[in-house]
Each structure stands twice: as structure tokens, then as C-alpha cells.
Amino acid sequence: MPPDDSTVESNPEDSPHDYRPVARELVQVYSGRLGEVIAMRAALAASGFETFVQDELTKSIDPYMTGGNAFEVYLLAGRDDAPAIRSWLNEMEGTPGRGEPNSVELEKQLKELEKLGERVRWCTLDILQPLGVYLGMKYLARVQSLGIRPKLYNSTLAAFTWNIVCTIFYCIGIYAAVVIVLKL
């Protein structure tokens, strides 16, 4: 089945089944760790934006194959869509309800919370997702107790969700391995 006409152009001199993709200039709109960027891509897709993760398969198989910054991947979008996507990302990364802390203690707690959120986001790497679920639960409890959203709150929620999904698949895999071993 040929692709739809909005993404391809055809040459009338060629047969009707000869399609060529229209070249789109892609620009970077976001960068981060693979799990975080995949979660961001899913959130953008749910909002109607088309994005691509540069070197997604290569980074998931062998992150060092692509060079020095092994664990950073880039989310790309068409040049025409980039301003709207960046605006959406800025809104998502925003800190609604944060307000200005009124005490040194609150500022200290907020910094600790931001560090915990960074750890949750780092846990999107390979086998650290179960730890990310644990840290994510601590993070959400602290956010609720403070009543303030720290920086990168939405990214941390996306990473926490990704960690939960991966942990579930790990558990299913371990269960399947145990069942197989017990049947032997």
C-alpha cells in the first residue's frame, strides 16, 4: 500500500507505483537520555506532533557506537513544526504553581527534590528502571507533601512512567524464565 499523498510526491513520468519521499529538513527540538526522549516523543505524538529519535535503534543496541556522548539522544522534528513543538515542550517543562519559596528551608527541600527527580530520569537507562520506580514513588510523595512542582516535573513523570513499564516487562520476563526452568 503506497503512503498517503501528504508525505510523498510522485513523478508523473514514472509509473503510478513509483513514490519518492519528500525531503524534510529536521532540526533538534529536545535532547536527553533514551527513555526520557522516547517518553517525550510519545507525549508529543499524543498531542499531534510528528517527531523522530535520531539513532534510536543504534543507541538502544550499543550506545557507544555513535560517539562520545553515548547516552544522549536527540528528538528531531520538521523545521516548520519546531517552533510549536518547542513552545509545547517549554509549557510542559514549565513549573506551574511553583511560586517563590518563602524560606531557606523550602528552597533546600526544593533543590533536594530536583536532585531526586534527576535520579528518577537517570534511571531510564537500561537495567535501572526498578530503582527508578522506587525513587519515583519517593519523588511523588515529596512533591505532594511540599505542594510545589520542581523544575522538570513533567519530564520526571514521563521518566517514572517509562520506568514502571520497563519494570513490568522485567517482572514478566523473570516469571517466564522461572516457569521455564521449573518445567525442565
For residues 165 and 78, give the distance between their C-alpha atoms in angstroms, rounded to a whole number: 29
Cell of 91: 509549557
Question: What is the chain's percent helix, strand, coil content, to nearest 5?
Answer: 60, 10, 30
Decide which of 23 and 33 is more confident.
33
Helices marked H in the chain = 34-46, 56-61, 82-93, 104-122, 129-146, 153-183
Name the residue ranges covered by the structural domains of the chain: 8-92, 99-183
pTM of the predicted protein model: 0.45
Residue type at 3 in one-letter notation:
P
- What's the mean pLDDT when you consider all of the chain? 77
For residues 6 and 2, give the distance between their C-alpha atoms in angstroms, rounded to a whole number: 12
Asked whether the beta carbons of 125 and 35 are under 8 A apart, the reply is: yes
Confidence at residue 19, expressed as pLDDT on a 0 to 100 scale: 53
Among 8-17, 32-41, 42-51, 159-168, the minimum mean pLDDT is found in: 8-17
Asked whether the beta carbons of 112 and 75 are under 8 A apart, the reply is: no
In tens, the pLDDT along 117-132 reads 988 988 888 778 888 8
Report which of 128, 101, 129, 125 is spatially closest to residue 114, judged by C-alpha positions.
101
Decide which of 18 and 140 is more confident.
140
For residues 2 and 96, give the distance between their C-alpha atoms in angstroms, rounded to a whole number: 44
Asked whether the beta carbons of 133 and 164 are under 8 A apart, the reply is: yes
Asked whether the beta carbons of 163 and 123 are under 8 A apart, the reply is: yes
Asked whether the beta carbons of 34 and 59 are under 8 A apart, the reply is: yes
Question: Phi and psi dihedrals of 180, rounded to 5?
Answer: -65, -45
In tens, the pLDDT along 30-88 reads 877 778 888 888 888 888 998 888 877 676 676 666 665 666 788 899 888 888 988 88
In Å, how far are 12, 23, 37, 49 from 9, measured between CA atoms? Answer: 9, 10, 30, 21
